[in-house]
A and B are shown apart, each in its own frame.
Chain A
Amino acid sequence: MTGFRIFRWSIFASALVPAAALVYWTFTGDLGANPIEFITHTTGTTALSLLVITLTITPLRRVTARNELIRLRRMLGLLAFFYACLHMLTWVVLDWFFDVASMTADVVKRPFITMGMMTFVLLVPLAATSTAGMIRRLGRRWQQLHRLIYVAAVTAVIHFWWVEKADFRQPRLWALALCVLFGFRVWWSLQTRAARTRDAFTFLKDGMLRRG
């Protein structure tokens, strides 16, 4: 168990490396010719990576049958949200310096910004209901609410896709990753449904046999 704790902490620490690097490079002056663009890009891609990594936990847990992996899920999800917040703050403070009129116009007129904003808005309730107390209080509805992460992952990839001018290799890769992760879930739920039907059928058959 302690081995797993060390594993968990090392994942936490490595997820903070991009943020730490940005701070470090700010002081050494190594953010390049366009620091604001670099910070925007770094926080954005890190947020997306962590969001997708969060979605790998459940499939990994099923494949490996290691249930303790579930304890990584909330941490990774919150780290993704942390980077989404940094990404958003970069846009508001560094890129536009609170120019509300221009930012509002962009959210309304620019589809890629609309998508980015939508992703952020979808992540807020998930982060807000991530505490143990909220999980208990919401019960079944917690699970339904947290399915929003699938929508957020899709809007995040669309956001990335629409930012690009010509080179779509990276967004394509993320879209593929989502397809694989969603495909696994669809396949899994079809399997369990088939198993349930089989069980029900067996149950009925048994009942009839008994009666007969």
Chain B
Amino acid sequence: MLIRRAPDIRYSEVTPKALYMRRREFMQAAAVAAAGAAAALSPAGSRHVHAQNGRTKLPNVRKSQFSTTEKLNSYEDITSYNNYYEFGTDKDDPERNAHRLVTRPWTIRVEGLVKTPATYDIDTLIKPYAFEERIYRLRCVEAWSMVIPWIGFPLADVIKRLEPLPSARFIQFTTLADAKQMLGIRVPVLDWPYVEGLRMDEAMHPLAILAVGLYGEVLPNQNGAPIRLVVPWKYGFKSIKSIVRIRFTDTMPRTSWPVANAREYGFYSNVNPTVDHPRWSQATERRLGEFFRRKTVMFNGYGDQVAHLYSGMDLRRYY
């Protein structure tokens, strides 16, 4: 008897990526490519290299010892299923709407308890750092997860160069909130702009990175271009996107989700299977692309590296 087996390859992997791209995205990609080519020809040069498919490749990316060897989620999954409420609250809204975001020129205001408050152009800010690929698990508070190959550099390196004052105990990040580029801002779903924060020792941890790319290419807008935070041991909403402001403070920042609903979200928001969200269990998660749920692991599996940050803290209270 002939036993037919489904090929061990997914539909999304066999179809050429270019076919997926809708016209608008194609036009946008073409514009990015043109800009990339222009930058490459300019005397200043550019780190961006124009890739064949219209997206922009990031060269000289080093591997990292912090990367997981788990199976990656597809580029399509990572770029079509996003929580980025500034572009709409449905998962496919960001992919549809984020093309309106202009990511160059882009400046980041650094302020608060820092030696020299200043506004930096993004390319100046990121220039000193070598890009690393960090393949991290991302666990969303909604009980789904992905494995994503980010490109970025340690947040700690940036903080050291910015020279915060010794009195700085927290770092606060703010996302752009421009209703002209971000249609979702018109709806008061959250108290815009989106704000996130970390304790300084969390921010200085080598696992915390600022990402500017994924899958070897420049970060797509819906994933938080041009620059975002990635903190893999915390729920996804801590990893704030499209950062325009960094503030060093001595008080705990009032971050967006606890402001919206303090009973359901805390400042720390470490991945913790034993502390349930009041409305759903955090004990299991669905890795996108898999049928069966998996057990969620404390600190999203990064406990060996980060648990010491919270020694002596009651994580049921400081959720």
Q: Which residue of A lies closest to B79 (CB)?
A: A33
Could you tell me if A112 and B279 are in contact, using CB atoms closer than 8 angstroms?
Answer: yes
| Alpha-carbon distance A33/B286, docked complex (angstroms) | 11
Chain B residues lying within 8 Å of A162, measured Cβ to Cβ, are 279
Q: Is chain B's binding surface mostly helix, strand, loop or mixed?
A: loop
Q: Which residues of B lie under 8 Å from residue A100 when comparing CB positions?
A: none
CB-CB under 8 A from A111, the residues of chain B are 279
Question: Which among B48-56, B84-92, B239-247 touches the partner chain?
Answer: B84-92
Verify if B77 is at the interface (C-beta below 8 Å from A). Answer: yes
Quick check: B80 and A110 within 8 Å, CB to CB?
no
Q: Chain B contact residues (Cβ within 8 angstroms of A): what range? A: 20 to 34
| Distance A110 CA – B280 CA, assembled complex (angstroms) | 6
Judge whether B187 and A169 touch: CB under 8 Å. Answer: yes
- A72 CB to closest chain B CB, in angstroms? 31
- In the complex, whether B81 has a CB less than 8 A from a CB of chain A is yes
Give Cα distance in the complex from A167 to B184, angstroms.
Answer: 11
Give the interface size class of chain A: 20 to 34
Cβ of A145 to closest chain B Cβ, rounded Å: 32
Q: Are A34 and B144 in contact, with the CB atoms below 8 A?
A: yes
B25 contacts A by Cβ under 8 Å = no
Q: Which residues of A contact B292 (CB under 8 A)?
A: 97
- B68 part of interface (Cβ distance < 8 Å): no
Asked if A166 and B85 make an inter-chain contact with CB atoms under 8 angstroms apart, the answer reads yes
Q: What is the CA–CA distance of A110 and B293 in the complex, to the nearest angstrom?
A: 18
Q: Among A33, A37, A94, which residue has its beta carbon within 8 angstroms of that of B76?
A: A33
Q: Complex Cα distance A162/B261, Å?
A: 13
Whether A20 is near chain B, meaning CB under 8 Å from some CB there, is: no
Q: Encode B116-148 as 1/0 by CB contact (under 8 A) with A.
A: 000000000000000000000000001010000
Chain A residues, Cβ within 8 Å of B179: none
B-chain residues with CB within 8 Å of residue A163 when the two chains form the complex: 279
Q: A33 to B92, alpha carbons, bound, how many Å?
A: 10
| Residue interface bits A98-126, CB-to-B below 8 A is 1, else 0 | 00001001100111100000000000000
Looking at A29, A162, A165, A166, which has the most chain B CB atoms within 10 Å of its CB?
A165
Q: Does residue B31 face the partner (Cβ distance < 8 Å to A)?
A: no
Q: How far is the CA of A97 from the CA of B12 in the complex (A)?
A: 25
A166-B85, A167-B85, A169-B187 as given contacts; A32 in contact with B80, CB under 8 Å: yes
Taking the complex as formed, is A60 at the interface, i.e. its CB lies under 8 A from any CB of chain B?
no
Q: Is there a chain B Cβ closer than 8 Å to A180's Cβ? A: no
Query: A72 to B261, alpha carbons, bound, how many Å?
Result: 43
Least Cβ–Cβ distance between B191 and chain A, in angstroms:
10
CB distance from B55 to the nearest CB of A (A): 19
Q: Which residue of A lies closest to B80 (CB)?
A: A33
- How far does the alpha carbon of A29 sit from the alpha carbon of B288 in the complex, in Å? 14
Check B190 for interface membership: any CB of A closer than 8 A: yes
**Complex interface: chain B residues within 8 A of A96 (CB):** 293
Closest to B184 in A: A167
- In residues 106-164 of chain A, which contact B (Cβ within 8 Å)? 106, 109-112, 162-163
Instruction: Verify if A36 is at the interface (C-beta below 8 Å from B).
Output: yes
Contact B189 A167 (CB under 8 A): yes
User: Are A34 and B286 interface neighbours, CB within 8 A?
Assistant: yes
B281 contacts the other chain (Cβ, under 8 Å)? yes
Report the bound CA distance from A33 to B73 in whole Å: 9
Tell me, yes or no, whether B260 is within 8 Å of chain A by CB.
Answer: yes
Tell me, rounded to whole Å, the shortest Cβ–Cβ distance linking A17 to chain B: 20
Expressed in whole angstroms, the minimum distance between the Cβ of B137 and any Cβ of chain A is 15
Residues in A whose Cβ lies below 8 Å from that of B81? 32-34
| Interface of chain B residues 8 through 42 with chain A (CB within 8 A) | 11-12
Q: Which residue of A lies closest to B76 (CB)?
A: A33
Q: Are B12 and A36 in contact (CB under 8 A)?
A: no
Complex interface bits, B64-76 against A, C-beta within 8 A gives 1, otherwise 0: 0000000001001
Selected A-B contacts with CB under 8 Å, 19 pairs:
A29-B11, A32-B81, A32-B92, A33-B76, A33-B77, A33-B288, A34-B91, A34-B286, A97-B291, A102-B281, A105-B281, A106-B281, A110-B279, A110-B281, A112-B279, A163-B279, A166-B85, A167-B187, A169-B187
Q: Which positions in A face B, CB cutoff 8 Å?
A: 29, 32-34, 36-37, 94, 96-97, 102, 105-106, 109-112, 162-163, 165-167, 169
User: 4 smallest A-B Cβ distances: which pairs?
Assistant: A33-B81, A29-B11, A167-B89, A33-B77
**B interface vs A, CB < 8 Å?**
11-12, 73, 76-77, 80-81, 85, 89, 91-92, 142, 144, 187, 189-190, 260-261, 276, 279-281, 284, 286, 288-289, 291-293
A33-B91, A163-B279 known, 14 other contacts, Cβ within 8 Å: A32-B80, A32-B92, A33-B73, A33-B80, A33-B81, A34-B91, A34-B144, A34-B286, A109-B276, A109-B281, A165-B142, A166-B190, A167-B89, A169-B187
